[in-house]
Amino acid sequence: MQTAVPEADRLHLGIALDGAGWHPAAWREPTARPAELLTAGYWADLVTQAERARLDFVTFEDALSLQSDDRYQPDLRTDRVRGRLDSVLVAARVAPLTSSIGLIPTVVATHTEPFHTSKAIATLDWVTGGRAGLRIRVSARQDEAAHFGRRSAPAGPGQVSELFAEAADYVEVVRRLWDSWEDDAEIRDVATGRFIDRDKLHYVDFEGGWFSVRGPSITPRPPQGQPVVAALAHASTPYQLLASSADIGFITPRDATSAAAMVAEVRASEAAADPGRATPHLAGQPVRLFADLLVFLDDEAAAAARRRDRLDELAGAEYRSDALIFTGTPAELADLIGDWRSAGLAGFRLRPAALPHDLAQITRALVPELQRRSTFPSQYQSSTLRGLLGLPRPANRYVPDPAP
């Protein structure tokens, strides 16, 4: 029996995919597939499994340096997964094998060009028929800056704040480029020989502290108009990026109380934003907030705890995360999700501790449990990622409002 859940009651779920899983020793699990991490088949299997469970989206982690246990510099460890594929290209490879799930690769704004990103994500949106997103990151690491040789990494908190201001400009350029073609700019009139209406392509003429971009894009406006922009935020400065620039935001509360406090701080940042959420690309919509949870799931809570302890022993230390680490059964996780929803969360982004084990627990046990509780649908209710998340397709900023 199909379950249709009204948007006001609908819980949204996403999966954060990274290597063999988020625990550093996950690649040593008996069910892990470490020899396949750099193959298309591995990622296709994970994403299609998530799609069969009707999850809203998957995100793909990425960075401009090798993975490291140290947040600020490379380490020399050889007992961890090191090396990864480009997240945008992984999403593009998986796209033709899926039909409904949203695909959100990660892009580091600090050392990449918004023009390149705009056309890559627009292309992904065309390939998926409107299911693309973009997760924005910043980089404050010197080793990553050294890969490019154009700038040095920031040294203090004030300069880190500049990285987020730059990221906000980056998103603004990307969004303007997505709008630089009107929806009907392509005429394709064989009789007259006109393929496009040049008057419906627009210069974006962005001038800022970091970018000077004229436009227009070389890629027509994406099917969604504006693919979904996401970011992860832990504190006030990145909350401001969510408030000014993002459609969805990932936050890392520890309990329902801290979730409510984080939601309130983001909402305050939205209220203070200039020009605020009324800007055309956000269409007056509040940012949809998702709580990140790193999960160890098993049929019995004791089994999940034993698995976590075993992986910690293999790693040589207790694993710690920026997100809450949940260890228990899918039903217990469903209870926590129910408790936290009252904080004003649109949903949750789950980080499987070990792949494919914890993803299977999410798709085969947690999702059916949530469906029994009538909070998660049994069928996709939209063909686009914006539609799945209850976000309208925004108007093009370069098209004047019709006369009343």
Residue 249 lies in a domain: yes
Residue at 5 is within a domain: no
Q: Distance between CA atoms of 15 and 385, rounded to whole angstroms?
A: 14
Question: For residue 1, is pLDDT > 50?
Answer: no
Of 135-139, 190-194, 354-358, where does mean pLDDT reach its minimum?
Answer: 190-194
The pLDDT-based confidence of 2 (bands split at 50, 70, 90) is: very low
Q: Does the pLDDT of residue 368 top 70, yes or no?
A: yes
| Between residues 187 and 160, the one the model is more confident about | 187
Compute the average pLDDT of residues 70-83.
Answer: 91
Contact 355, 58 (CB under 8 A): no
* Mean per-residue pLDDT, 324-329: 98
Residue 400 lies in a domain: no
- In 3D space, the residue among 135, 116, 103 whose CA is nearest the CA of residue 174 turns out to be 116
Q: How many CA atoms lie within 13 A of 244 on its CB side?
A: 20
Query: What's the mean pLDDT in 309-336?
Result: 97
Q: What is the residue whose two structure tokens read 């605020």?
A: 276
For 39-43, 282-286, 358-362, which range has the lowest pLDDT when averaged over its residues? 282-286
Residue 7 lies in a domain: no
Identify whether 258 is part of a domain: yes
Q: Is residue 394 part of a domain?
A: no
Q: How far apart are CA 302 and CA 94, in angstroms?
A: 35
Residue 139 CB partners (closer than 8 Å, separation 6+): 63, 64, 108, 110, 111, 145, 153, 163
Instruction: Report the CATH number at residue 343.
Output: 3.20.20.30
Specify the range with the lowest mean pLDDT, choosing from 275-279, 290-294, 330-334: 275-279
Query: Where in 56-118 does DSSP place strands (E)?
Result: 57-60, 102-108
Is residue 399 very low, low, confident or very high in pLDDT (cuts 50, 70, 90)? very high
β-pair partners for 201: 181
Query: Contact 54/376 with Cβ under 8 angstroms?
Result: yes
Tokens of 98: 């899926």
Do 297 and 333 form a contact (C-beta atoms < 8 A)? Answer: yes
Confidence of residue 292 (pLDDT cuts 50, 70, 90): very high
Residue 280 has pLDDT above 80, yes or no: no
Instruction: Kindly state the DSSP code that residue 199 receives in the 8-state scheme.
Output: G
Name the one residue in this structure whose structure tokens are 């979730």.
259
Look at residue 394 in the predicted model and tell me its pLDDT. Answer: 95
- The kind and range of the H/E element at 348 are strand 347-352
Distance of CA 39 to the CA centre of its chain: 21
Query: pLDDT higher for 157 or 236?
Result: 236
User: Model confidence over 3-62: pLDDT tens digits?
Assistant: 566 666 799 999 999 999 999 999 999 999 999 999 999 999 999 999 999 999 999 999
In a domain, 402, yes or no: no
Q: What is the pLDDT of residue 401?
A: 74
Over residues 159-183, mean pLDDT: 95
Task: Confirm whether 398 is domain-assigned.
Answer: no
Tens-place pLDDT, residues 228-279: 999 999 999 999 999 999 999 999 999 999 999 999 999 999 988 765 554 5
Rounded CA separation 57/105 (Å): 10
**Mean pLDDT for the chain overall:** 93
Instruction: Summarize the confidence of residues 127-151 as an average pLDDT.
Output: 92
Nearest to 21 by CA among 287, 359, 309: 359
For 88-136, how does the pLDDT look when each residue is reduced to its tens digit (9 = 90+)? 999 999 999 999 999 999 999 999 999 999 999 999 999 999 999 999 9
Which tokens is 156 given?
């203090």
pLDDT given for residue 9 in this prediction: 73
Percentage of the chain lying above the pLDDT 70 cut: 93
pLDDT at 404: 54
d(CA 313, CA 25): 9
Give the pairing of strands 194-196 and 186-189.
antiparallel
> Can you give the residue range of the structural domain that contains 307?
12-388
Domains in the chain, number? 1
Question: What percent of the chain has pLDDT above 90?
Answer: 85
